[in-house]
Amino acid sequence: MQAGYWIRSKPIYGGLQWQHKAQAHVIIASGEGGRAVLRLLQQQLPPQAIKVLYLPEAQADHSHALRHMLQDVLGLDLASALSRHDTAAALWLALDEVLTASRMGTRIYAAGDEAFLWQVAAQAALHGVLNADIMREQAASLARAVYCVHCKTISHHVNTNIATCSGCQRQLLVRDHFSRRLGAYMGLMIDAEEPGNVPDILEIYP
């Protein structure tokens, strides 16, 4: 684990807050990110149109709470305010459609694990949206996507300091160096010098 020094590429995420100067609001969330969206919806609502795109995960499905909040509490028309998707592919397709029809002044918010946040950024970039234009919240899990510099496979949901590469099975040390293009942290083989000499594996990205 690397501590006590600062690596520039490690992104920092704030919480979600409404941008009140806007023409519309598009919120994209997955899994635990749904909770961040619920917190956002509790803040004083902006007057412009709001659309939530949500991808539930097996361990974290806040669909019911979102539906309740948007429809019963806030009185919004669910058909336009919430679109729930069962697969990531369906979510990206829907996002593409929404962004194609959007105008400048549409504020974009994203909540989910880190890899998800950067997938949103990559999708939005196809529409000319800059990283700085998106409000992000890293929800709950600090799990990392890890890019194996040896076989170039990305392993998802890594909670530990050392992880087995899902591509080549090497033991990778998870570094703080983050690639915005890949949305993943660099992973380097840890026992290259002395095969089999692997330090204790600890859960440090719960």
Partner 1 sequence: MSALANKLMITEPDIQTPANTSDQRSQNAGLKVIVQTIREVAEGIREFTLVSADGSALPAFSGGSHIVVSMPSGTRIYRNAYSLLSPPQQRDHYRIAVRLQENSRGGSRFMHQEVKVGMALEVAWPLNLFALSRLARKQVLVAGGIGITPFMSQVQELLRQAQASQSAVLQTAGSKITPPDFELHYAYRSQDHAAYVPELQALLGDRLKCYDQSQGVTLDIRQLLAEQPLGTHVYTCGPEGMVQALLQSADELGWPPAHVHHEEFLAPPVGSPFTIKLASSQQEVQVGADQSMLEALEQAGVDAPYLCRGGACGRCELEVLSTDGTLEHHDHYLSAEEKRAGRKIMPCVSRARCDVIELNF
Contact positions vs partner 1 (CB under 8 A): 19, 21-23, 99-100, 102-107, 125, 127-130, 132-133
CA distances to 26, 30, 64, 116 from 180, rounded to whole Å, are 22, 19, 32, 12
Shortest reach from residue 126's CB to partner 1, in Å:
9
Shortest reach from residue 77's CB to partner 1, in Å:
22
Q: Which has the closest alpha carbon to 187: 202, 205, 195, 175? A: 175
φ/ψ of 116, rounded to 5, equals -65, -45
Tokens (6 digits) for 125: 């970039």
Q: Say how far apart CA 165 and CA 168 lie, in whole Å.
A: 6
Shortest reach from residue 19's CB to partner 1, in Å:
6
Shortest reach from residue 182's CB to partner 1, in Å:
19
Q: Say how far apart CA 85 and CA 106 lie, in whole Å.
A: 21
Nearer to partner 1, 133 or 176 (CB): 133
Please provide the size of the chain in residues. Answer: 206
